[in-house]
Amino acid sequence: MSGEVPLVQLDHVERTFGDVAPVYALRGASLDIGVGDWIAIVGPSGSGKSTLLNILGLLDRPTFGCYRLAGTDTGPLTDQQRAGLRSRKVGFVFQSFHLMAHRSVAENVMLADVYRRGSRVDRHERAIEALERVRLDHRAGYLPPRLSGGERQRAAIARAILSRPQLLLCDEPTGNLDSTTGAAILDLFGEMHRDGLTIVMITHDPDVAERAHRQATIIDGTLAEVS
């Protein structure tokens, strides 16, 4: 919609480490991501992808520049305010599934709500709904070691969408999967994107990036959108 405030606004964001001879992990990154966009950010190891993802997910702060999430300038926010905004707006999917082996699939999904101190009301029902969304509700009572790699990633995605975030940040989400299983996970992201979810996907794989509707590259901390 014309005039709609972008969900993500990066304005000349830089991230440096060290004081005497600072190392630039990000150099003047500017990017707008609208509600419902699906963008892939492609770059080799050490290019600044993880630093960018940490800033977008409010896990790190820019050294310079401005980051607005859903119209909120995140710079002046306290750590507690940032955590609250993150829990309401952002979901994470990682290359490693980060599932607790001794907890059932449903319990792993519910833990996302526990950590964000979400409502206990209907927590289990909402977890099952999230598992239905990723077509894994038939494994709700299983322990993660009994799941395939693709099923573990589906469980991790269900956990990420339990709180109905506006922004889903994906860090190499198919990196531990074979090509067929990875394609199925990308199909699932495509379905969620069509339902209106905004997705930022970090990857080193150009073939995976092709599934997104927008692409950007990051090399030596410099971010550039692909025309």
As a whole number of angstroms, the distance between CA 56 and CA 188 comes to 22
Model confidence over 42-97: pLDDT tens digits?
998 888 999 999 999 999 999 999 999 999 999 999 999 999 999 999 999 998 88
User: Domains of the chain by range and CATH?
Assistant: 8-225 (3.40.50.300)
Model confidence over 131-169: pLDDT tens digits?
999 999 999 999 999 999 999 999 999 999 998 999 999
- Assign 1 a pLDDT band (cuts: 50, 70, 90): very low
Q: Which residue's entry shows tokens 């990000």?
A: 26
- Assign 113 a pLDDT band (cuts: 50, 70, 90): confident
Q: Which residue has better confidence, 102 or 114?
A: 102
Give percent of the chain above pLDDT 90. Answer: 79
132, β-bridge pairs: none
With 60 as the cut, is the pLDDT of residue 116 above it?
Answer: yes
As a whole number of angstroms, the distance between CA 160 and CA 94 comes to 10
